[in-house]
Amino acid sequence: MPHYARDCMKVAWPLPAVVMTLGLLMSGLSSSAPTPPALPAGWQPRLAALLPATSQTVTLLERRPSISTVELQLRVASVGGNPQALQQVIVNAARGLQPTYDERLGISREDFKRYVVFQEILASTGKTFRLAVTRDANQITFGDGPLMNGVLKGVSIDLKTGEMRGPEGFSARPTSVTPSTAPDQGLDVRSGFQWRIAGSNATSGNGVRGTLSLLQLTSGRVVLSYTRTSMIRRSVDTGELIVEYTR
């Protein structure tokens, strides 16, 4: 094979991977993103109050596997199942062990599998640090620092319009988060905001798909999380940062 042909092959082979990544970032999106519903009156002061202050002290959270037995307990109680057998299942689940079926529970093996729910909960890592963030009257901008792993680097939020913009060159408008109670996940949400950002540009090699959530809990604490897959100049990075703080 001529040398120039081999050189062309070396240059060309990464391009399908880039196109594939851009396609994955945009999968499931229509040609035009839907307009987010209008935010309720008075949302700007609430947004400004929930977002972190400059150099905000935060606690790092992480996702941990958990086994929920709430539905199982209700079901076993309704059929008069054996309390000792149920207690053993609860103890094993609390220890993170795989619960095993016991016919003394009074339910079928299929029901047992359906009522034992595997999920993730948010838990504190015990690590605190100062968030690399600056803000003025108009905008809040995130940087990078220890334990942040570049996840929020270059992300900004306009305090007047609520628009979030990422370093990839794309933006998103916020939507309101409705109150919800999720005790199994350790979250009791009073209110909040969420941004779903997505976009790609094959020419620049930039793209992003991510979700930024800002949640106020009934305890008064605030949870800020950003999960995203980012591509800048065809370099792909996936990351997640979840922190908790008080404002």
Give the SS3 label for residue 141.
Answer: strand
pLDDT digit string, tens, across residues 166-196? 999 999 999 999 887 554 455 789 999 999 9
Q: 230: Cβ–Cβ under 8 A, 6 or more apart, which residues?
A: 166, 167, 168, 207, 208, 210, 236, 237, 238, 239
Mean pLDDT of 100-104: 94
pLDDT digit string, tens, across residues 202-230? 999 999 999 999 999 999 999 999 999 99
Mean pLDDT of 121-129: 94
pTM (two decimals): 0.74
Report the distance separating Cα 146 and Cα 131, nearest Å: 9
| Cα 221 to Cα 47, 51, 55, 214, 241, distances in angstroms | 14, 12, 17, 11, 17
pLDDT in the model for residue 31: 39
